[in-house]
């Protein structure tokens, strides 16, 4: 097992051999298991909203390819921030704020800005704005890219997410419809559909509502009186994604552990399907369920957990549409009603009668023995948060321990909504390997294991994008921090590529503050190379707790890939000797090809440089304790105090790039020696 902490000093020492000093850097920690094909990641820019820690200074971010601007939801200032990304092309690591558009300029009764999206052609942006009383109807406000109001449309209660269809003809709004704190008012959840295909004059929203007949019977109702409440009152849309053909939209309904399918031709729901339970008794599907077990204890347990996705995205592969969900987990927890309780509290009420028929990994005898051996104690499952809104048998007892969140990402067939892949225990295992000192930490304190009893690393956001000819899924971890990158080119067998984070841990039980770097990724935005201000694929990650946006460059830089030169052209190039400063370079005759062919190439010097490269590589890697090959790289992610006023491109200190640089030095040295010998022979 290796940690970022162990690797920091060695990696930076190796980098200092060839790279400029970078001061006051946010250390980008990059972890991968396969050194042969790591995803290249470099932090090249950062925006700081100036908000206090935990105030939501940056939450959701959208990008306009035309102006190279980003639009960031600022919950702390109750505003929309307009940012200029053009400076990234000049190596300016500090992303400037162009304009802050206050909530008051939107008009009406508004309490917050919850989401932002941009029209596919960059014509204008849409922001969702809840009412001062969250159970009242909210609005979607359309703005130009300078932040000037163009139109406003009334939508459902608590609009929490907004997006456009790919053809730009419709705006879709997830109206979450949360209940009031005292649970006396519970508005219906819905999706508003705004037709913008014919312009922005006299816009109105059509409502796609839920009816009981299209909801599958096993979709749970989270309500103190589920028998006397409708599904429309219970279902709370969280996130929307649209297929490539604009035929269907898919809606994550987090608290109900379900996905709804919305027909965009009829503007009505066709089905609402439960995602079922994740069985943590299966091999390869493990978790750490306690914050009182003295550290990292990942194993199988008799827990059935609801996936409960937050972020979701659709992508195409092999002519099929797939959905990827970030399985965060969430519970209804209001003053008037809360479903959340500890397993130990239910066990104390003799509320469990565990049934082996519900588990793949246990016999009844094994389950009974686990209970006898203290299964419901705090060091085992006692601390795990569970729900009172779960299936019971005829005697009123729970036959399984139910949990919140899958601690994973899943891939679903969009047609059938059947699962084709789940990442299992990967997130907890990978973060335990990469950062064992702060495994399952939270986003307001650097403390080992203090979220294991809740939802672990809490995958929050997900997006896909192509990098270097492969399709990747990027999943942000809200609590532990950082972003997981998986190659999903084949959706049925994704492979883990890289875990990277620019969060800085400052010591056991240290509070998260302004020195903690980028904490709690909430929203992710993918920018393809052809639309990027730098010409390289970018990922923007809005971090809610730190109030910052990190700009990460992904893959190889196009400008670093020189065009191949034919061999015959290389031998015709004139050769010049190096001159002293101020000395004119004498003209030289072309090299005689016949003489050149008789000169032996100085292989020995090249081999020495190659040997040196291998030595440096060996000094910057450590034999992993596990059987898998792991590597951790540190990349500086802020400008040096010594950088000039124009700014310097930020270095990528990954081992592969470092070796590439040394290899280039070796080739240049070989060329100088080669042509030097040739000139001596000519003069002789």
d(CA 215, CA 491): 27
Residue 129 burial (10 A CB sphere; 0-12, 13-18, 19+): buried
> What's the token pair of residue 99?
């304009």
What average pLDDT score do residues 43-50 get?
Answer: 97
Contact 539, 549 (CB under 8 A): no
Residue 354 has pLDDT above 50, yes or no: yes
Q: Are 246 and 267 in contact (CB under 8 A)?
A: no
pLDDT in tens, 109-128: 889 999 999 999 999 999 99
Mean pLDDT of the chain: 83
pLDDT at 645 over 90: no
Q: What is the pLDDT of residue 225?
A: 84
| Consecutive H or E run containing 617 | helix 603-619
pLDDT of residue 107: 77
DSSP at 503: B
Q: Determine the longest span between alpha carbons in the chain, in angstroms.
A: 104
d(CA 246, CA 232): 25
Given a cut of 90, is residue 356 above it in pLDDT? yes
Token pair for 528: 């393809």
Mean pLDDT of the 239-251 span: 98
Helix (H), strand (E), coil (C) string for 308-365: CCCCEEEEEECCEEEEEEEECCCCCECCCCECEEEHHHHHHCCCECCCHHHCCCCCHH
pLDDT, position 227? 82
In the numeric block, which tokens belong to residue 417?
């909504």
Q: In Å, how far are 80, 139, 441, 513 from 77, measured between CA atoms?
A: 8, 18, 27, 19
Q: In what order do the strands lie in the sheet with 79-84?
A: 61-64, 69-74, 79-84, 97-102
Average pLDDT, integer, range 574-579: 35
Closest CA to 374 of 304, 282, 292, 439: 292
Lowest-confidence pick of 49-63, 104-118, 277-291, 567-581: 567-581
Q: What is the dihedral of CA 112, 117, 119, 125, to 10 degrees?
A: 30
Percent of residues, the chain, with pLDDT higher than 70:
77
Cα gap 599→637, rounded to integer Å: 46
Q: What is the Cα–Cα distance from 188 to 53, expressed in whole angstroms?
A: 33
Side-chain-side CA neighbours of 589 within 13 Å: the count stands at 7
Residues in CB range of 564: below 8 A, 6 or more apart: none
Which residues pair with residue 253 across a beta bridge?
258
Asked whether the beta carbons of 372 and 406 are under 8 A apart, the reply is: no
Place of tokens 């956001």: 461
Q: 36: burial class by Cβ within 10 Å (0-12, 13-18, 19+)?
A: exposed
- pLDDT tens, residue by residue, 124-173: 999 999 999 999 999 999 999 999 999 999 999 999 999 999 999 999 99
Does residue 647 contact residue 587 with C-beta atoms inside 8 Å?
no
Q: Which pLDDT belongs to residue 58?
A: 98
Q: pLDDT tens digit string along 523-544?
A: 999 999 999 999 999 999 999 9
Q: Picking from 40-49, 100-109, 344-353, 409-418, which range would have the lowest pLDDT averaged per residue?
A: 100-109
Angle between helices 603-619 and 655-683 (to 10 degrees): 160
């Amino acid at each position: 097992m290796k940690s970022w902490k162990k690797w920091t000093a060695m990696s930076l020492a190796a980098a200092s051999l060839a790279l400029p000093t970078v001061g006051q850097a946010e250390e980008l920690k990059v972890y991968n298991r396969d050194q042969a094909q790591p995803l290249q990641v470099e932090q090249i820019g950062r925006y700081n909203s100036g908000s206090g820690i935990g105030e939501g200074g940056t939450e959701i971010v959208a990008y306009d390819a035309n102006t190279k601007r980003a639009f960031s939801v600022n919950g702390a200032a109750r505003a929309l921030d307009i940012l200029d990304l053009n400076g990234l092309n000049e190596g300016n690591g500090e992303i400037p704020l162009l304009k802050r558009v206050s909530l008051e300029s939107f008009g009406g009764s508004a309490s917050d800005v919850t989401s932002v999206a941009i029209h596919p052609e960059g014509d204008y942006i849409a922001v969702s704005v809840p009412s001062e009383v969250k159970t009242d109807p909210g609005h979607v406000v359309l703005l130009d890219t300078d932040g000037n109001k163009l139109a406003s449309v009334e939508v459902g209660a608590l609009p929490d997410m907004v997006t456009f269809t790919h053809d730009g003809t419709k705006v879709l709004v997830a109206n979450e419809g949360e209940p009031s704190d005292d649970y006396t008012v519970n508005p219906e959840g819905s999706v508003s559909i705004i037709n913008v295909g014919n312009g922005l004059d006299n816009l109105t929203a059509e409502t796609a509502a839920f009816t009981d007949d299209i909801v599958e019977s096993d979709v749970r109702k989270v309500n103190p009186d589920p028998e006397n409440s409708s599904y429309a009152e219970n279902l709370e849309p969280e996130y929307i994604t649209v297929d490539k053909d604009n035929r269907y939209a898919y809606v994550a309904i987090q608290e109900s552990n379900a996905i709804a399918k919305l027909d965009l031709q009829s503007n009505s729901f066709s089905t609402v399907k439960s995602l079922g339970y994740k069985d943590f008794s299966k091999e390869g599907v493990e978790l750490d369920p306690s914050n009182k077990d003295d550290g990292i204890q990942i194993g199988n347990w008799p827990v059935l957990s609801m996936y409960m996705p937050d972020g979701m995205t659709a992508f195409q592969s092999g002519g099929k549409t797939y959905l990827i969900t970030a399985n965060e987990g969430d519970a209804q927890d209001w003053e008037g009603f809360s479903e959340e309780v500890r397993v130990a509290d239910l066990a104390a009420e003799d509320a469990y009668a565990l049934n082996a028929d519900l588990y793949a990994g246990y016999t009844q005898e094994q389950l009974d023995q686990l209970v006898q051996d203290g299964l419901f104690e705090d060091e085992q499952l006692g601390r795990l948060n569970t729900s009172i809104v779960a299936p019971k048998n005829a005697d009123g007892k729970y036959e399984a321990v139910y949990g919140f969140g899958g601690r994973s990402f899943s891939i679903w067939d969009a047609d059938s909504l059947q699962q084709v892949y789940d990442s299992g225990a990967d997130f907890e295992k990978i973060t335990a390997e990469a950062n064992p000192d702060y495994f399952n930490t939270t986003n307001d304190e650097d403390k080992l294991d203090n979220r294991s009893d809740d939802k672990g690393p809490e995958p929050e956001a997900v997006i896909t994008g192509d990098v270097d000819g492969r399709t990747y899924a990027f999943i942000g971890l809200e609590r532990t921090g950082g972003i997981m990158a998986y190659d999903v080119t084949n959706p049925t067998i994704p492979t883990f590529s890289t875990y990277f984070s620019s969060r800085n841990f400052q010591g056991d039980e240290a509070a998260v503050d302004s020195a903690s770097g980028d904490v709690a990724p909430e929203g992710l935005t993918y920018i393809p190379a052809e639309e990027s201000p730098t010409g390289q694929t970018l990922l923007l990650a809005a971090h809610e707790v730190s109030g910052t946006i990190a700009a990460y460059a992904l893959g190889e830089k196009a400008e670093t890939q020189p065009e191949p030169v034919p061999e015959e052209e290389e031998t015709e190039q004139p050769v010049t000797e190096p001159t002293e400063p101020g000395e004119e370079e004498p003209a030289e005759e072309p090299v005689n090809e016949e003489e050149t062919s008789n000169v032996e190439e100085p292989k020995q010097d090249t081999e020495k440089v190659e040997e040196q490269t291998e030595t440096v590589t060996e000094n910057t890697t450590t034999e992993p304790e596990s059987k898998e090959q792991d590597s951790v790289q540190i990349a500086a992610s802020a400008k040096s105090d010594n950088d000039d006023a124009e700014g310097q491109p930020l270095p990528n200190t990954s081992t592969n790039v470092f070796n590439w640089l040394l290899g280039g030095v070796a080739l240049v040295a070989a060329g100088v020696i080669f042509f030097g010998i040739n000139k001596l022979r000519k003069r002789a």
